[in-house]
Amino acid sequence: MVLAALIVLTVITVLITSVEMGPYNTAAALLIASIKAAVVLLYFMHLKFDQKIYGIMVGIVMAIFAAVIVVTFFDYLYR
Amino acid sequence: MAEHNHTKHEPNYLEYQGKHKGLLGWLTTTDHKRIGLLYFYSMMTFFLAGVVMGLLMKFELISPGEQIMGAQTYNGLFTLHGLTMIFLFVIPGVAAVYGNFFLPILIGAKDVSFPRLNLMSWYLYIFGAIVVLASQFMGDGPPDTGWTFYAPYSLKTNTNVVAAVTGAFILGFSSILTGLNFIVTMHRLRAPGMGWLRMPLFAWSLYGTGWIQLLATPVVGVTFLMVVAERLLGIGFFDPAIGGDPILYQHLFWIYSHPAVYIMILPAMGAITEIIPTFARKTIFGYTAIVISSMAIAFVGYFVWGHHMFTSGMSSTSRWVFSLLTFLVAIPSAIKVFNWTATLYKGSINIQTPFLWAIGFIFVFMIGGFSGLVLGSLATDIHVHDTAFVVAHFHYIVFGGTGFAFFGALHYWFPKMWGKIYNTKVANLGLLIFFIGFNLLYFPMFYLGLMGMPRRYYDYLPMFENANVLSTVGSWIMATGLIIIIVNLVRARKGSGREIDNPWDGKTLEWTIASPPIVENFEEIPVVEHGPYEY
């Protein structure tokens, strides 16, 4: 099931490159990659079944990382 | 002063003979205290080398025209000075030396969580240092890019950039592993009864620092790999001639390198926060506010990197966003300064050498901080960007902040680390001379920058001469103070001074154990029943 979701998401990543969305193509690619990474973390790396504190810590790290990317893209979107 | 009152059942960490003796015993040690000292001795060596480079540059700038070196040598020298001081001294800095030595003791642990990984971090640090320094002698000459390796110049110059960034990449791993080790140690090894809000504030500052090291350092690691890949394979990440974006390099570089400033300054602030209540004989004012401000600095510090790029061609929306965020980071820094001074209010102040260093720290840090607001403001930054003003600001924060805290912490913890007390009169005299020299060296640079003298030039217009002469003379005075300070400490180390466990009447856990501490710090793991600064 998880493997199937990852394969489907990979196919979507490839297909979406043929849709012209300007700078949002990158955003879409990043979003799909993030979903895939989250699925891997939750199921393959057992985050979902572990103590909550680990999920919170990973969540904070991901949020900071996402925020850094968003702030960087401010420059590219408005330059 | 409490005299030595322990009956020592075990040898201290300096005397201890394990499987290996002598130098090999030190090189294979997993004792956090010995590793702290390994960092200390190696960092002091690099620091003194960096000081000599700085003195040579200041001598070159004593008057217009070529004095002792040409432009290319000067470019190589300021790059090496920056690499040495940033990557080999201030980034490992207070955390690697005093963090390693004191973090486990402060939280009542026998060692860090991963002692072998800790030793590996030091080896990576030394290996990275060797690669960085070897870049000066291999290939086509020393890098001349400045410590920032800005693209596209770092992609075009024929100098030996690849080796230098590879060295910095390796040093990054040392930093990441140290940060990881400290975070896990604080989560797992606190003594019974030591809740998070009973941890000494130096430990809290190391916690914030650890997260920055862990999360920000990989970004610069990847960036340096991209520079190497671009130079060797011509991929086109940063070079506009082949479709790259040089501003992307600046983004990636500063996403790490601005938080790196907080890697340098947060443990320094933590050390000052230990010193102030000890000599004010008073509980720290606003413990929780300092904890929150440490974490807030670590967090907000991630989002201010763009203030290094106001004149780089970044979008105007990004500029005001970064300017706003930059002003926000001043708030937690100011909270700390307020709390330090509020702790002194109605305290029973005992003026000793470490306290004088702490006061000196607050003075120079405030000058550095306020000049940072000038640079964080868009309009004024455009005027002073890439001038000597930035160099002055930077040195007031990094040398004035981290450097003062490093030596303040050294004078504070020296009796604990080596079990000896130094001559306080000589130490105070050294500090006074150092303080005068420091300000005479760097303050004229604010003026020079405002008048328009650019940074990183070996020559200048005659109108800048007077202030440059002052600055160069300041560098000699500062070096004199530094020599007095170091000679005094070396003499104390070699002397046969009394052994004193708690010369300052400190309350945190390191002052409850023998000086120098025994191998696993505590004969019995303490049970903590109150906060760290109960006076």
Contacts of B87 (CB under 8 A, 6+ apart): B128, B129, B132, B147, B167, B168, B171
- H/E element holding B373? helix B353-376
- Within 8 A of A70 by CB-CB distance, chain B residues are none
Alpha carbons within 13 angstroms on the beta-carbon side of residue B206 total 35
For chain B, the domain total comes to 1
Q: What is the mean pLDDT of residues B161-181?
A: 95
Q: Whole domain around residue B209: which residue ranges?
A: 22-512
Q: Are B38 and B122 in contact, with CB atoms under 8 Å apart? A: yes
Question: Is A75 close to B299, i.e. CB distance below 8 A?
Answer: no
In a domain, B17, yes or no: no
Per the prediction, chain B carries an average pLDDT of 93
- What are A27-52's pLDDT values in tens digits? 888 899 999 999 999 999 999 999 99
In angstroms, the separation between the Cα of residue A74 and the nearest Cα of chain B is 6
* ω into B218 cis (within 30 of 0): no
In this prediction, residue B399 has a pLDDT band, given cuts at 50, 70 and 90, of: very high
- Within 8 A of B321 by CB-CB distance, chain A residues are 71, 74
Question: Is B306 close to A71, i.e. CB distance below 8 A?
Answer: yes
In a domain, B445, yes or no: yes
Per the prediction, chain A carries an average pLDDT of 89
In a domain, B522, yes or no: no
Interchain CB contacts (distance < 8 Å): A and B? 40
- What are B358-369's pLDDT values in tens digits? 999 999 999 999
- What are B378-387's pLDDT values in tens digits? 999 999 999 9
Cβ of residue A69 closer than 8 Å to a chain B Cβ: no
Sign of CA dihedral B14, B15, B18, B21: positive
Amino acid identity at B128: G
Radius of gyration over every alpha carbon of chain A, rounded to an integer in angstroms: 15
In a domain, B83, yes or no: yes
Give the chain A residue whose CA is nearest to the CA of B245: A76
High-pLDDT (> 90) share of chain B, %: 90
In a domain, B344, yes or no: yes
> In this model, does residue B19 exceed pLDDT 80?
yes
DSSP secondary structure of B453-516: PBSS-S---GGGHHHHHHHHHHHHHHHHHHHHHHHHHHHHHHS-PPP-SBTT---SGGGGS-SS
In this prediction, residue A17 has a pLDDT band, given cuts at 50, 70 and 90, of: confident
- Within 8 A of A65 by CB-CB distance, chain B residues are 215
Contacts of B113 (CB under 8 A, 6+ apart): B181, B184, B185, B188, B189
What CATH number does the domain containing B68 carry?
1.20.210.10
In a domain, B450, yes or no: yes
Q: What is the mean pLDDT of residues A9-22?
A: 88
In a domain, B478, yes or no: yes
- Within 8 A of B299 by CB-CB distance, chain A residues are 64
pLDDT at B140: 80
| Dihedrals phi, psi of B518, to nearest 5 degrees | -75, 175
CA B390, CA B374: separation in Å to the nearest integer?
10
Question: Is B315 close to A64, i.e. CB distance below 8 A?
Answer: no
**Beta partners for residue B518, in sequence order:** B12, B521
In this prediction, residue B138 has a pLDDT band, given cuts at 50, 70 and 90, of: confident
Amino acid identity at B153: Y
CA B282, CA B279: separation in Å to the nearest integer?
8
Contacts of B232 (CB under 8 A, 6+ apart): B162
pLDDT at B62: 96
Contacts of A11 (CB under 8 A, 6+ apart): none
- Within 8 A of A64 by CB-CB distance, chain B residues are 215, 299, 302
Question: Is A79 close to B314, i.e. CB distance below 8 A?
Answer: yes
Joined tokens for residue B492? 């104390």
Question: Is A74 close to B321, i.e. CB distance below 8 A?
Answer: yes
Q: Are B291 and B122 in contact, with CB atoms under 8 Å apart? A: no
Q: What is the mean pLDDT of residues B285-305?
A: 93
CA B240, CA B162: separation in Å to the nearest integer?
20
Question: Is B215 close to A65, i.e. CB distance below 8 A?
Answer: yes
In this prediction, residue B3 has a pLDDT band, given cuts at 50, 70 and 90, of: very low
